[in-house]
Amino acid sequence: MRKEHFKNKVAVITGASSGIGRQISLEFARRGTHLALAARSENALLELQSEIEGPGRQVLALPTDVTNPADVERLIALTLARWGQLDILVVNAGQYIRSPIENLALSDLEKSMAVNFYGGVHCILAALPHLRSQRSGHIVIVSTMDVKTPLALDAPYVAAKSALSGFADVLRQELHGSGVRVSVIYPARVDTPMIGNLKVPAISAKIPPGAVARAVVRAVESGRARFILPFQAYFLYWLYLISPILSDWAAITFHLQGWELQES
């Protein structure tokens, strides 16, 4: 790994307290990045801060609700006040809301949009003026493979994540030549507490959050616009491009949407 992409750089990571965000934080810390960690759970952030902080690794733990623009503005302002720079923004905070469309409450759709779309937009808009003025930086958005190959029952999540991924694609074009890069990560189902009660078939087994964190690292190193993982996910993606009907058949036949486990 080329540590010069990370050493003494400053990264803001949302949704940092658990799952994918926690693993991204640890990966960056190993490479000497200074971190502004954002999530709603202050206790979890403080635990992660104490785990990471050490020689050459400075950490800010900032309780943040990404649905609140004032919180996000404060996050960016405090990061700049501490280090005077912002090099990497990882938009990772998310919420998984699952419902058949026929039973979908508009409040659930609004909640998903608030966190998964507007939460990311708030972070990008708050950081963008600084990134543009310094003519460097990298925005990494953790999306979902559901955007590329949608699955039944995931409409609230897919709608919001699709909106954010489309926003990112437009942003990347508008930032061409600015020195600011934009990457989107499209993981399949990830083994995190967010979908801990979702059982999936072996053919689409959940991937570890560390795999997504390593994809984020590779995105920053390479500047690639998109990462799809794991490799098997490419098969369903290309099947979807070639024949949506066949892709739907595969999703239904193999029950790729999974089953929700009942809490005891």
Q: Tell me, what's the pLDDT at 264?
A: 37
* Alpha-carbon span 141 to 15, nearest angstrom: 12
pLDDT in tens, 61-81: 999 999 999 999 999 999 999
Q: What is the mean pLDDT of residues 169-195?
A: 96
Q: What is the pLDDT of residues 200-224, one digit of tens each?
A: 777 777 999 999 999 999 999 999 9
Active site residues: 157
The arithmetic mean of pLDDT across residues 171-191, rounded, is 97
User: How far does the chain reach from its first CA to its final CA, in angstroms?
Assistant: 44
Report the range of poorest mean pLDDT among 9-18, 136-145, 197-206.
Answer: 197-206
Segment 234-251, tens digit of pLDDT: 788 888 889 888 888 877
Predicted local confidence at residue 2, as pLDDT? 59
Name the helix (H) or strand (E) containing 251.
helix 244-253
- Asked if pLDDT for residue 1 goes beyond 50, the answer is no
- CA angle in degrees (0–180, nearest 5) for 242-155-165: 65
Q: How far apart are CA 36 and CA 10, in angstroms?
A: 8
Mean pLDDT estimate for the chain: 93
Encoded amino acid at 250, one letter = A
Q: CATH number of the domain at 3-260, please?
A: 3.40.50.720
pLDDT-above-70 percentage for the chain: 95
- CA nearest 162: which of 181, 177, 180, 149? 149
**Could you tell me which residues are beta bridge partners of residue 62?**
38
Element (DSSP H or E) covering residue 140 = strand 137-142
Q: Between β-strands 226-229 and 259-260, what pairing exists: parallel, antiparallel or unpaired?
A: unpaired
**Which tokens sit at 173?**
């074009």
For the chain, give every domain's residue range.
Answer: 3-260
Tell me what pLDDT residue 132 has: 98
pTM across the whole model: 0.93
